[in-house]
Amino acid sequence: MTAPILEATRIVAGYEPGLPIVRGASIAAKAGEITAILGPNGAGKSTLIKAIAGLVLVSSGKITLADADITETPAHQHIRQGLAFVPQTENVFAGMSVEENLKIAVHILPKAARADRLEKTFALFPDLARQRQLLAGRLSGGQRQMLAAARALVVEPRVLMLDEPSAGLSPKFVASVFAKLVEIRQIGVAIVLVEQNVRAALAIADRAYVLVEGENRHEGTARDLANDPNVAALYFGAHTERAA
């Protein structure tokens, strides 16, 4: 058993003081694995990974990255420590070209390494390589998600967190985005994936957490959770409630 590279323990976080959205949730992610965070709408999944990324104030709990405490680290330092984050929406700079989007990100590396990484990333995303000068705002939805992931990956982070990369994409693009995640896992990156699309997420994930009302409700291997009637009930139940 390898030790997790990213650990968030008993996180309490929210947008306004005294109104916690995440109430004590904990997750851990290992290198070379996909860790899925699932849960109904409004469960606090996005808030949890934004808190880990330093974008939401954490009022208690501890976040460690490779044993370094990053709970108090300012957001712009995370990527330098190897923690990359792709927000759910507005995750590319629409007014800048594809290449500029990547150049901004790669700047944290030493000058000598930048061009090389840029080309490596374009090799990983051949679709983007063909449209270097195109404004990111003109990319299709799926390509935009690719660019957002590429922007995060260009610095070769140890952990990649994505918030619903499949949202709003047609099934064909969902498949290609997920296939790309599997490819990235092989490089040894720890992937944290927030998803609504439970079936698809559990199909590629290694481990998963189910969050409800800001707390861990279930956790385990993806296979166990996929077969757990309680998890199914959570989603199935939510549907019947809505139907009633």
Residues in contact with ligand ATP by the rule CB under 6 A:
15, 21, 39, 41-47, 196
- SS3 label, residue 26: strand
Q: Which of the listed partners (Mg ion, other proteins, ligand ATP, none) does 42 bind, with a CB threshold of 5 to 8 Å by partner kind?
A: ligand ATP
Q: Which of the listed partners (Mg ion, other proteins, ligand ATP, none) does 103 bind, with a CB threshold of 5 to 8 Å by partner kind?
A: other proteins
Contact between 46 and other proteins (CB under 8 A)? Answer: no
Site for other proteins in 86-105 (CB under 8 A): 87, 90-96, 100, 103-105
42 versus 188: smaller Cβ distance to Mg ion: 42
Residue 73: Cβ within 10 Å count: 16
Strand order through the sheet with 68-69: 22-29, 6-13, 58-65, 68-69
Q: What angle do CA 101, 156, 61 make, to 5 degrees?
A: 100
> Token pair of 20, please?
């916690």
> Token pair of 44, please?
């606090």
Listed in order, strand segments (DSSP E) in 150-227 are 159-163, 190-194, 207-212, 215-221
Task: Pick the binder of Mg ion from 11, 31, 46, 153 (CB under 5 A).
Answer: 46
Q: Which of the listed partners (ligand ATP, Mg ion, other proteins, none) does 76 bind, with a CB threshold of 5 to 8 Å by partner kind?
A: other proteins
Please report, as a single letter, which amino acid is at residue 153: L
Instruction: List residues bridging with 220 in a β-sheet.
Output: 208
Contact positions toward other proteins, by CB under 8 A? 53-55, 74-80, 84-85, 87, 90-96, 100, 103-105, 107-108, 151, 155
Q: Rule CB under 5 A: which residues touch Mg ion? A: 46
